[in-house]
Amino acid sequence: MWRGSARVLQKNIRRNLVSRAVKGGLTALLLKTGQPFQYNVLLTGAAYSTKIQPKLTAESYPSILRNPNYKQLAADDVSFFKNVVGETGVLEASGSEDLALFNEDWMRKYKGQSKLVLRPKTTQQVAKILRYCNEKKLAVVPQGGNTGLVGGSVPVFDEIVLSLTQLNKVRSFDEVSGILKCDAGVILENADNFLADHGYIFPLDLGAKGSCHVGGVVATNAGGLRLLRYGSLHGTVLGLEVVLPNGEVLNTMNALRKDNTGYDLKQLFIGSEGTIGVITGVSILTPPRPKAFNVSFLGVESYEAVQEVFVQAKQELSEILSAFEFMDSKSQELTKLHLKDVAEPLTEKYPFYILIETSGSNKEHDDAKLEAFLEKTMESGLVLDGVVAQDETELRNLWQWREMIPESSQAGGGVYKYDVSLPLKDLYSLVEAANDKLSEKGLMDPEDATKPVISAVGYGHVGDGNLHLNVAVREYSKDVEKALEPFVYEFVSSKNGSISAEHGLGFQKKNYIGYSKSDQEIKMMKNLKDNYDPHHILNPYKFL
């Protein structure tokens, strides 16, 4: 066996070769080194993106007041909950324990003041909790992996946190149809690993996969990296189990692919952000796992070139194209500061970068297609330079230059994130407009530490018309917020875009729904909310 393993483990995990040696050797060293290192470890668990302590949301936004109709939590409430979920299912705030993990969001932008976290293990327990809260008018925030990016999964005041973490079993999997049924609290990556063992793949993938829950991604209708290929959750989710605020359980878990009998009720909860029910179970159709993946990272001259490459990629790669991501040069400069040990894809700098992933069932076929496509775009001068991953490590490393942008953009202190849908031709104009605006106001400087903004970067899923504008800041400040909001929303609205493509509205965008939805739409949403949650106990102070 490899003698230097332990030493290498301590000193260097650069290429994760330790884990490979473990696997390659197939011997007892497994016990010594345990799990292989995974690059997305950085995104998981309680590893906050910034060390700056967040202010209480109530202090940052003094105009928002606690709704006096809600009951204050009392000792008898806590004892009721202990009866339902047991001592271990209840976490109470006390001297040193401020439940920060549940009160703060991942960006550390918001901080609630909840004194109680409930961790039910069964759907029945969730039902009992909600029925009680509804009767007593106790406000509740349902919470999954708490990786949301709009402050939708954390309390604002003293709402009880209903964490689905313990509801985390795979219920069943059908090897023939590919239908997976699982609890809402199953971590996305665990679900995907489970499916991988059966030759299937979860139809959704995103950077936070090591922490986020299957129920959470459904409740927020997350988009992620595979949407181009597998479509949105509105299509792949077949059924849900949802506990309504009054404790009733809606069960559509046995739904079929085709079922035209009345309203498709589950759709109501996909993207509802926990405002009219708590998802406790998910039934989802999963596609066969591709056997061959290729990743190529390209440099191009302009945003126009990005679009041209996209058109050609769709034509030439067609059914094997599984991701088409673009990144601007500033986003890569930020990421470079953060990704110290990962080899840079290209030696020269380019205004825009593209990451293309293909996935299919036959490596030779995919290789040939990709090669022909790349040669053509390179020879025509559309693509200036590029690399192709030669092995799995390089493939993962190339992906890191896209997946680590969110973390890199807030490593300097914090980040204002805008996740918008725009017509493709206008997609990047928002980033340019935001840069102009911030420069004009004298708020931005990459070097000068007295300016609040470090950089405003753009990247996103070209395939889905989805842009992420990240404004990396040294600290959260009202000046920056005022410069960007509602400016960004007005800009998006003027181009007929959506102010939230995949992150949801949550707390951050609660006042801006009108930029994307008509009065009639908002009225019907409010009717639904009033009907199913008459006391508004679920996820209050958010978009509805």
Partner 1 sequence: MSKSLRILVPVKRVIDYAIKPRINKAGTGVEKTGVKFSMNPFDDIAVEEAVRLREKHKNLVESVHAVSIGPAKAQDILRTALAKGADTCTLIDAKEAELEPLAVAKVLKRVVEAQNANLVILGKQSIDDDCNNTGQMLAGLLNWPQATNAAKIELDAARGRVQVTREVDGGEEIVSAALPMVVTTDLRLNTPRYATLPNLMKAKKKPMEKLTLADFGDVDTQARLQTLKVEEPATRSAGVKVGSVDELVEKLKAAKAI
User: Which tokens is 26 given?
Assistant: 């197939």
User: Which tokens is 171 given?
Assistant: 């219920």
Instruction: List own/partner pairs for 432-436 with CB under 8 A and 24 or more apart.
Output: 433/491, 434/469, 434/471, 434/484, 434/487, 434/488
Establish if 12 lies at the interface with partner 1 (CB under 8 A): yes
Establish if 336 lies at the interface with partner 1 (CB under 8 A): no
Bridge partners, 284 (sequence order): 180, 237
- Rounded to whole angstroms, the Cα distance separating 500 from 221 reads 11
Distance of closest approach, residue 293 Cβ to partner 1, in angstroms: 9
Establish if 1 lies at the interface with partner 1 (CB under 8 A): yes
Q: In terms of CB distance, is 22 or 499 closer to partner 1?
A: 22
Establish if 345 lies at the interface with partner 1 (CB under 8 A): yes
List 217, 398, 456, 469, residue binding partner 1 (CB under 8 A): 398
Establish if 387 lies at the interface with partner 1 (CB under 8 A): yes
List 102, 297, 310, 532, residue binding partner 1 (CB under 8 A): 297
Q: In terms of CB distance, is 382 or 522 closer to partner 1?
A: 382
Establish if 388 lies at the interface with partner 1 (CB under 8 A): yes
Burial pattern 87-109, b for ≥16 Cβ within 10 A else e, equals: eebbbebeeeeebeebbbbbbbb
Q: In terms of CB distance, is 156 or 383 closer to partner 1?
A: 383
- Rounded to whole angstroms, the Cα distance separating 507 from 154 reads 9
- Rounded to whole angstroms, the Cα distance separating 71 from 132 reads 12
Of the ranges 46-54, 294-302, 497-505, 512-520, which one interacts with partner 1 (CB under 8 A)?
Answer: 294-302
List 10, 31, 75, 520, residue binding partner 1 (CB under 8 A): 31
Establish if 28 lies at the interface with partner 1 (CB under 8 A): yes
List 21, 139, 467, 488, residue binding partner 1 (CB under 8 A): 21
- Rounded to whole angstroms, the Cα distance separating 112 from 319 reads 45
List 137, 234, 291, 314, residue binding partner 1 (CB under 8 A): 291
Q: In terms of CB distance, is 13 or 256 closer to partner 1?
A: 13
Cis bond upstream, residue 406 (ω within 30): no
Among 275, 279, 237, residue whose Cα is nearest residue 256: 237
Q: SS3 letters for 454-481? A: EEEEEEEEHHHCEEEEEEEECCCCHHHH
Q: In terms of CB distance, is 36 or 423 closer to partner 1?
A: 36
Establish if 482 lies at the interface with partner 1 (CB under 8 A): no
Of the ranges 25-33, 68-76, 102-110, 492-500, which one interacts with partner 1 (CB under 8 A)?
Answer: 25-33
Establish if 27 lies at the interface with partner 1 (CB under 8 A): yes
- Rounded to whole angstroms, the Cα distance separating 427 from 252 reads 38
Q: How would you class 39 by CB atoms within 10 Å of its CB: exposed for 0-12, middle for 13-18, buried for 19 or more? A: middle
Of the ranges 94-102, 181-189, 388-396, 447-455, which one interacts with partner 1 (CB under 8 A)?
Answer: 388-396
Establish if 15 lies at the interface with partner 1 (CB under 8 A): yes
Establish if 26 lies at the interface with partner 1 (CB under 8 A): yes
Distance of closest approach, residue 391 Cβ to partner 1, in angstroms: 3
List 91, 374, 444, 484, residue binding partner 1 (CB under 8 A): 374
List 98, 248, 394, 445, residue binding partner 1 (CB under 8 A): 394
Establish if 449 lies at the interface with partner 1 (CB under 8 A): no
Among 72, 541, 460, 490, residue whose Cα is nearest residue 273: 541
Number of residues that bind partner 1 (CB under 8 A): 48
Of the ranges 14-22, 229-237, 504-512, 533-541, which one interacts with partner 1 (CB under 8 A)?
Answer: 14-22
- Rounded to whole angstroms, the Cα distance separating 404 from 406 reads 6
> In the chain, what is the greatest distance between 2 CA atoms, to the nearest angstrom?
74
- Rounded to whole angstroms, the Cα distance separating 414 from 399 reads 23
What one-letter code names the amino acid at 390? Answer: Q
Q: In terms of CB distance, is 256 or 343 closer to partner 1?
A: 343
Bridge partners, 296 (sequence order): 356, 388
Q: In terms of CB distance, is 25 or 235 closer to partner 1?
A: 25
Establish if 423 lies at the interface with partner 1 (CB under 8 A): no
Q: In terms of CB distance, is 42 or 513 closer to partner 1?
A: 42
Distance of closest approach, residue 506 Cβ to partner 1, in angstroms: 34
- Rounded to whole angstroms, the Cα distance separating 353 from 344 reads 12
Which run of H or of E encompasses 405?
A: helix 405-410
- Rounded to whole angstroms, the Cα distance separating 236 from 504 reads 19
List 55, 169, 338, 396, residue binding partner 1 (CB under 8 A): 396
Among 374, 324, 376, residue whose Cα is nearest residue 353: 324
Establish if 390 lies at the interface with partner 1 (CB under 8 A): yes
| Residue for token pair 């889905």 | 464
Establish if 20 lies at the interface with partner 1 (CB under 8 A): yes
Binding to partner 1 (CB under 8 A) within 175-234 occurs at none
Distance of closest approach, residue 342 Cβ to partner 1, in angstroms: 9
Q: In terms of CB distance, is 197 or 448 closer to partner 1?
A: 197
Distance of closest approach, residue 82 Cβ to partner 1, in angstroms: 17
DSSP letter for each residue of 28-85? THHHHH-SPP-GGGGGSTT--S--SPPPPHHHH-TT----TTSPPP-HHHHHHHHHHH
List residues near partner 1 by CB under 8 A: 1-2, 4, 7-8, 11-12, 14-17, 19-21, 23-28, 30-31, 291-292, 296-298, 343, 345-346, 363, 371, 374-375, 378, 383, 385-394, 396, 398
